Amino acid sequence: MTEAKSKTDPSRRAFLAGATVAVAATIVGGLKPRAARAAGENLPHLSDSDAMAKALAYTPNHNTISTAKYPMYKPGDHCSICRFFKGTPGEKSGYAACQIYPGYSVDAEGWCESFSARS
């Protein structure tokens, strides 16, 4: 009986060791893509024709905004200095994720009515 037990123990240990390595590799391998998605990489760019973008007056270029039409816009306000922008604060170009538009990346030079300056 002890012979049968000793034959199963090594295979069980080998399985558990292999499973541990596989789980660790899956976790470590999944970290970079998750971080990249949070930063906006691999996300589609938000179009100003998107229904949510239209509802919040998103435009990819803040220099084209009419202050007469959008009085809450202050010259110089743009996505990269907004608290909802997930990219590098103050960057002048590129796209990054935005908390307002989940699943999309917004232009750093864009603007929408949800703009809220970083504190």
Q: What is the pLDDT of residues 52-72, one digit of tens each?
A: 999 999 999 999 999 999 999
Q: Give the global pTM.
A: 0.65
Buried b (16+ CB within 10 A) or exposed e, 14-50: eeeeeeeeeeeeeeeeeeeeeeeeebbeebeebeeee
DSSP 45: B
Where are the domains positioned within the chain? 2-107
Q: Which residues contact 48 (CB under 8 A, 6 or more apart)?
A: 54, 58, 59, 60
Q: Is 97 helix (H, G, I), strand (E, B) or coil?
A: strand
Residues of the chain under the 70 pLDDT cut: 1-10, 15-19, 21-41
Q: What is the CATH number of domain 2-107?
A: 4.10.490.10
Q: Which of 83, 41, 44 is nearest to 60 (CA)?
A: 44
Q: What is the pLDDT of residue 94?
A: 92
Angstrom distance (rounded) from CA 119 to CA 100: 18
